[in-house]
Amino acid sequence: MPLMMKKQRDGSFRPFWYGVYVDADGKRKVVNLNVDIRGTPPDSGSLRKPGDATFERSRLKAIAALEVHQNEARRKGRAEHLTERLIESKTGRSVEYVLLADLEARWRSMGRDTPASEAYLKSCDAAFRRFRSFMEERKDGVRFMYEVAKEDAEVYLADLQDAYARKTVRDHVKLLKKSFERFLPVGASNPFGELVGRRSAAESTMVHRKPFSAEELGVLLETAKGDDFLYPLVVTAACTGLRRGDVCRLRWESVDLDDGVLMVKTSKTGADVEVPIFPALREVLEGQKHDGDLVFPEAEEMYSKNPDGLTWRFKKLVAEAFGEVKAEVPENHCGADEVLEEGLAAIETGVSTEKRRERMREVFSRYADGESVRAIVKQTGIPKATVSTDLKRVEESIGKTFMPVNGGSVKDQVRETSQVSREKGQRAASVRDWHALRSTFVTLALSAGVPMELVRRVTGHATVDVVLKHYFRPGREAFKEALLGAMPEVLTGKREAPRPEDELASLAAKLAAGTASEAEKARLRELAAGV
């Protein structure tokens, strides 16, 4: 009965016995028997000769452990063989065991109603690679999908929750659940099938875009006039609520200047939307050249090559309009070497996985020894973003800052005006990017009394819930004024009469929407006569 003693790189024996056997498929297997090698082995190192009495007793334990492995392999082989024969007889298809290493290729080659984008497929590739790295670290030798247990999925879920936002975790687990359902052999249990999420808690902590108020929108547009490339795009997005890509890819065939409407098929959902052309948008459109299919050809080219560049330019615009960053050194600022022990202790207790702890210990120790972030990246090969995130997380854990405090730079202003930080060292959430203009359009329209059905006709949303949950985000004052205007005076008390110009605008919006009563129409004529 073959046993093995494996040597380490330094020539010494590993502390455990190893066994060799042949499984039901005729494959040679080498397993760690988890039995300690005790006593003194034979001088030659050959197991054909005996060692001392303690060594021989550990040999007997290893033999017994190996027999258990062999018997289990025979039993499993017979059971799997019978199961496979039953499945083949019922379905007419042979049972296939998919390797974890093949997940990316399998998922990419699946048939789909509509082709998946390359960006989506790349994100799936990254998710599969992360899970495979986790399994390699957790269980050496696991190669097939059916070898992943429910306990592995639960530990992996906890690992994700420690590193990512809740929505990212849900999307990641949803992908793995679907892929296991698709590629596991018939009858195999899906390890991700029984994981239960906390939908209500996740939604309550979701970070939404922050819409611009009417006054802020005016400041933003006035600031954008200094950028001939950006200004037409910002005006179009603000006047239509269209997504960034739909603005950049807007075609002249979708523009009807005579009737004053845009007819656009949105790229994300394929919905046909109809948007009125406001005067500010008409001025922009009439100022564009008509000698091509695209309204904004330069923007379309930049969007196709570098969409993040467009986002960055817009955030710089927001920072220019609203940013006021000042460099102030916090009271608790100190040197990294002064808090080395405190930081290492925080890493040990606050990071759940050994792989991440080891990386963060190395990054923080090197930084405390005086190495710069650039030097750490060069010496370790760890990405710069990861190094910075790890150091920032140590700062948050100990409640002290040791990294340089910058202020007044463009990056600082962008960060201050367009992002909010999140817990557990997760990436900052963007609250004032291009999509904030879409939220602004919806919020201003609904706050002004435009009916929901007309707003949905413009935005292309299928349900009211989506609009209210993700796009209608009125500010506190606007929300208060809307309620005060709608509730009876017995609850709200007497209110000041609205300014004539505000009342006129409100009544005109109702008339355009077809919701004005006869009394409101008469009031509108009265106000208009006095203008």
Residue type, 521: K
**Number of domains within the chain:** 3
* Residue 407 belongs to some domain of the structure: no
pLDDT at 487: 45
CB 476, CB 251: distance < 8 Å: no
Kindly state whether residue 438 falls inside one of the protein's structural domains.
no
Do both 39 and 75 map to the same domain? yes
In a domain, 112, yes or no: yes
Q: Of 73, 91, 109, which residue is a domain's last?
A: 91
What DSSP character marks residue 523? H
DSSP 46: -
Mean pLDDT of the chain: 77
pLDDT digits (tens, 9 = 90+) for 373-417: 888 998 888 888 888 888 988 988 888 888 876 555 666 676 676
The length of the chain is 531
184-224 pLDDT, tens digit each: 876 678 888 877 554 444 444 555 667 787 788 888 888 88
Query: Do the beta carbons of residue 402 and residue 333 sit within 8 Å?
Result: yes
3-state secondary structure of 19: strand
Residues 117 and 40 in one domain: no
The secondary structure of 103-170 as a DSSP string is HHHHHHTS--SSPPPHHHHHHHHHHHHHHHHHHHHHSTT--BGGG--HHHHHHHHHHHHHHS-HHHHH
Residues 85 and 142 in one domain: no
Closest alpha carbon to 61 in 102, 16, 6, 21 = 16
Same domain, 147 and 63: no
Which tokens in the block code for residue 432? 């004032």
Query: Of 140, 169, 204, which residue constitutes the final position of a domain?
Result: 204
Residue 351, in any domain of the structure: no
83 with 111, same domain: the answer is no
Q: CA-CA distances (angstroms) from residue 19 to 3, 10, 74, 141?
A: 5, 22, 15, 14
Rounded to whole angstroms, the Cα distance separating 102 from 96 reads 12
Is 494 strand, coil or helix? coil
Domain residue limits at 53:
3-91
User: Rounded distance, CA 407 to CA 401, Å?
Assistant: 15
Which pLDDT band, with edges at 50, 70 and 90, does 231 fall under? very high
pLDDT score of 467? 43
Tell me the C-alpha distance between 54 and 145, whole Å.
Answer: 41
Last residue of a domain, one of 58, 91, 124: 91
Same domain, 109 and 168: yes
Q: What is the DSSP string of 258-301?
A: TTTEEEEE-TTT--EEEEE--HHHHHHHHTS--SSSBSSHHHHH
47 and 122 in a single domain? The answer is no
Q: Tens digit of pLDDT for each residue in 455-488?
A: 566 565 544 454 444 444 444 444 445 444 544 4
Q: Is residue 153 part of a domain?
A: yes
Q: Which residue type sits at 487?
A: M
Question: Do 70 and 130 have their domain in common?
Answer: no
- In this predicted structure, the answer to whether residue 280 has a pLDDT above a threshold of 50 is yes
437 lies in some domain: no
pLDDT at 479: 42
- Output the 3-class SS for 20-34: EEECCCCCEEEEEEE
